[in-house]
Amino acid sequence: MTDSMDNLLGVARDIKSMEIRGAALIGRSAAQALRDFALELNTNDLNEFNSEVSKAADILLNTRPTAVSLSNSIRMVMRYSGEDVETASQSLVSNADNFVERSLKAVETIGKIGSHRIRDGDTILTHCNSSVALSIIKTTHQSGKNIKVISTESRPRYQGHLTIGMLNDWGINTELIVDSAVRTIINEVDEVIVGADVITANGSLVNKIGTAQIALCAHEARTSFMVAAETYKFSPETIMGELVPIEMRQEEEVYPQISDLKNVTVRNPAFDVTPHRYIDIICTEVGAIPPEMSYMIIKEMQGWDLQNR
């Protein structure tokens, strides 16, 4: 196997095993992996270049099924063109670099936009470990507002432990709760802020399992529910009526000794769907929008052309 394929398979493995995780990082890592793969390809034949790059793209696409950042990032990188290998490769590299740059800038901009909605003294509840939701929280803290964060554990993979480590390092007053304590503490919360794996055409949110229950609690308690999502988290496929595939992970993540129990199985969906009516606002890099505007974001920001599907 070539070194370039070896490296790409390494990134694909890390995405699958969740060494690389969180939708934004998955999208950027895939773009960079495809870029490095193209740069290391040793061929002067454009047909061979195209075919190898598209095989590599398929390998990355098959790592995790839910996060649309992965397919959107690969789609953007694969819009390269060129008369020969050199120009095609340059075009692909520039697409990948643009995606990564645009993603990093979006996370920063969302941090600023979202922080305007948070008041001094607020308590924020977050779930899982979303770099974009945390950008809002960090920016708010850096702006001098005094905030407290409550973080769920986010079983079964405990991404909440990553979140509290980061909040601790930034000097933010933080409390960790078990996932099932959300209903108990919701009346102390001023706003829920979560990230997104997917926003559908009708403005619904696909995010870490447990998000939908939190949204339901927040709705009942009249607590504001904010989603932090870059425009490449919006799913063009859902305009065509496609359903978002929900990743099912291994039973052992939830109960390592499951094989000892012959009459028991574990169901381990990694994500769930929060209906748009429970979402107050989606903070994107082009502004804070109501979920009902998601269709427009897909049409305008992603140049989505229904005729060419």
Residues that bind ligand RUB (CB under 6 A): 21-24, 128, 130-133, 159, 195-197, 207-208, 270
Nearer to ligand RUB, 40 or 251 (CB): 251
Q: Minimum CB separation from ligand RUB for residue 4, in Å?
A: 26
Q: Minimum CB separation from ligand RUB for residue 87, in Å?
A: 32
Separation of CA 274 from chain center: 15
Q: Minimum CB separation from ligand RUB for residue 211, in Å?
A: 8
Contact 147, 118 (CB under 8 A): yes
Give whole-number Cα distances, 306 to 76, 139, 239, in Å.
16, 38, 9
What does the CA dihedral 187, 193, 196, 202 come to, rounded to 10 degrees?
Answer: 70
Point out the residues that are catalytic.
Answer: 128, 197
Beta bridge partners of 149: 124, 174
Nearer to ligand RUB, 10 or 121 (CB): 10
Residue with token string 């979140």? 163
Whole-number Å distance between alpha carbons of 72 and 90: 20
Nearer to ligand RUB, 139 or 159 (CB): 159
Residue with token string 């953007």? 76
Contact 131, 22 (CB under 8 A): yes
Whole-number Å distance between alpha carbons of 297 and 4: 35
Q: Minimum CB separation from ligand RUB for residue 90, in Å?
A: 29
Whole-number Å distance between alpha carbons of 287 and 222: 23
Nearer to ligand RUB, 89 or 249 (CB): 249
